[in-house]
């Protein structure tokens, strides 16, 4: 997927440091920078060096070669639906928003889910992140407030 100014492509191992910088920008935006314990080395191992990668990432690359956004997805399995593509993160640098990169990254996830036979694409959005909620609402997404997220960190 591309525009005159950027192209969306599958990430490569050479993109790991740029993706990691964007992950930190996203964490800062979400007021959770201290929670990032992942590293570029871990991203490299998990996404590019395993026989079966734990995730697939795509990047939006500006016409000068810089990475301006990314999406990161992985497979989940729903006992009710079957295979589900989970969008862990989608982020575009602030100066490049409203140029279509977020839309192109998200559409890429939708297309990938359909092409691979997934039954659903899911993601989470913070309840205070109105720009993201508005973005996803344009896709006629179901924004479910019924479920409470739980987690255990190790």
The residues annotated with a catalytic role in the active site are 136
Residues 36, 23, 125, 29, CA torsion sign: positive
Measured distance CA(69)–CA(22) in Å, rounded: 7
Which phi and psi (to 5°) does residue 91 adopt?
-145, 140
Tokens linked to 60? 């939006």
Measured distance CA(74)–CA(2) in Å, rounded: 23
């Amino acid at each position: 997927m591309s525009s005159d100014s950027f192209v969306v492509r599958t990430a490569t191992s050479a993109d790991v440091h740029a993706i990691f910088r964007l992950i930190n920008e996203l964490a800062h935006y979400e007021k959770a920078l201290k929670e990032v314990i992942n590293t570029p080395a871990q991203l490299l191992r998990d996404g590019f060096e395993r026989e079966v990668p734990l995730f697939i990432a795509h990047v939006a690359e500006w016409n000068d070669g810089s990475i301006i956004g990314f999406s990161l997805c992985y497979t989940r399995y729903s006992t009710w639906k079957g295979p589900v593509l989970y969008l862990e993160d989608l982020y575009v640098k602030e100066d490049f928003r409203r140029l279509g990169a977020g839309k192109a990254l998200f559409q890429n996830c939708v297309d990938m889910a359909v092409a691979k036979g997934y039954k659903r694409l899911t993601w989470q959005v913070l309840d205070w992140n109105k720009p993201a909620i508005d973005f996803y609402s344009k896709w006629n997404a179901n924004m479910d407030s019924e479920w409470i997220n739980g987690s255990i960190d190790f």
